[in-house]
């Protein structure tokens, strides 16, 4: 695997090979892109920016990996469980709640998750360099995904390579545990 991807993997491997994070592969984010593929794209973009801008790489990529851990399909409008138009406003809180339920994120990582939709969630401002990186990376990736720029890109191939890699690791872990 690409050297950059291997370095990236070292920061997130406990998260990216967990059952909970894997669940994000069951939900579509944009087009044919699952939420898991999206968070890997955001996390890897954040990894590159964090290194470039001398931020805390570990905190940045781990916060990014968990930023959309809301675990439902936001396209299904189910008024019984969730008002359909509020997903953009409410999912950072849900993702932070799940992150705390299943992992042990630091205060700074929780703040990254809570502020990634800013300015939509205007009270949760990305105050750290790390949070600012993730909110920028998320908007950049979401725009590329929505406009189809991401579809055939070299970057998507890289993300897909990592996706296949962690799925293989997860399968091997499951086999071992059987």
CB 120 within 8 A of CB 151: no
If binding is defined by CB under 5 A, does position 68 make contact with Fe ion? yes
Nearer to Fe ion, 17 or 144 (CB): 144
Per CB under 5 A, the segment of 9-17, 131-139, 143-151, 155-163 that binds Fe ion is 131-139
CA-to-CA distance for 131 and 9, rounded, in angstroms?
20
CB 100 within 8 A of CB 108: no
Taking the complex as a whole, the smallest distance from the CB of residue 159 to Fe ion amounts, in Å, to: 13
Enumerate residues 142-161 that contact Fe ion by CB under 5 A. Answer: none
Cα–Cα distance list, 133 to 68, 69, 136, 140 (Å):
15, 18, 5, 10
The single residue among 138, 150, 156, 158 that binds Fe ion, judged by CB under 5 A, is 138
Tokens 């669940």 belong to which residue? 23
Per CB under 5 A, the segment of 1-9, 18-26, 43-51, 68-76 that binds Fe ion is 68-76
Taking the complex as a whole, the smallest distance from the CB of residue 166 to Fe ion amounts, in Å, to: 18
Number of residues that bind Fe ion (CB under 5 A): 2
Tokens 């001398």 belong to which residue? 54
């Amino acid at each position: 695997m690409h050297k950059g991807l291997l370095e990236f993997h070292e920061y997130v491997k406990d998260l990216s090979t967990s059952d909970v994070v894997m669940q994000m592969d069951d939900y579509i984010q944009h087009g044919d892109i699952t939420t898991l593929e999206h968070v890997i794209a955001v996390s890897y973009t954040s990894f590159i920016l964090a290194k470039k801008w001398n931020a805390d790489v570990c905190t940045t990529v781990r916060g990014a990996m968990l930023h959309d851990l809301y675990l439902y399909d936001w396209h299904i409008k189910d008024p019984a469980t969730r008002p359909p138009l509020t997903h953009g406003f409410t999912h950072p809180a849900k993702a932070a709640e799940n992150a705390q339920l299943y992992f042990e994120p630091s205060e700074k990582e929780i703040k990254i998750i809570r502020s990634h939709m800013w300015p939509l969630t205007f009270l949760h401002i990305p105050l750290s360099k790390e949070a600012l990186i993730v909110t920028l990376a998320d908007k950049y990736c979401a725009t590329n995904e929505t406009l189809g720029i991401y579809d055939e890109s070299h970057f998507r191939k890289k993300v897909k390579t990592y996706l296949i890699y962690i799925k293989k690791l997860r399968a091997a872990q499951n086999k071992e545990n059987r």
